[in-house]
Amino acid sequence: MAYVVTEACIDVQDRACMEECPVDCIYPGERMMYIHPDECVDCGKCMPACPNDAIFWEYKTPPEQEPFIEANALFVRSHGLSGGGEDADPVDEDHPLVGQRRPR
């Protein structure tokens, strides 16, 4: 199980979630943050830290946001992200799902 960053993070990237994550499993893309599902320990500390309510527990993600579950996993895996988002350079792109959403 993991938490997932959803559409409300696009063009916001507050990063408060990164500061609260005890295992450093949140990575920055160009327009939003991503949670690595294999590194997430399901502690939930990121969720209340998010000022936009963009983070959900995987099994309680609203139906219209469910595509972001796969988008988080594919993004971090396809970019070989692991070992800590706090020290990672932002990736200069996002999952294609983000590109389908209008800039805020």
User: Which residues on neighbouring strands pair with residue 34, listed in sequence order?
Assistant: 27
pLDDT tens by residue, 19-39: 999 999 999 999 999 999 999
CB 15 within 8 A of CB 38: no
Asked whether residue 104 is domain-assigned, the answer is: no
CATH number at residue 32: 3.30.70.20
Question: pLDDT > 90: what percent of the chain?
Answer: 81
Model confidence, pTM: 0.93
Tokens for 79, please give them.
Answer: 């970019």
Would you say residue 79 lies in a domain?
A: yes
Looking at residue 87, what is its pLDDT?
A: 80
**63, part of any domain:** yes
User: By CB neighbour count within 10 A (0-12 exposed, 13-18 middle, 19+ buried), where does 74 fall?
Assistant: middle
**Residue 27, pLDDT score:** 96
* Domain containing residue 23: 3-86
Question: At residue 103, does pLDDT exceed 80?
Answer: no
pLDDT digits (tens, 9 = 90+) for 46-91: 999 999 999 999 999 999 999 999 999 999 999 999 988 888 888 9
| Any domain includes 29 | yes
Confidence (pLDDT) at 102:
66
3-class state of residue 28 by DSSP = strand
The total domain count for the chain is 1
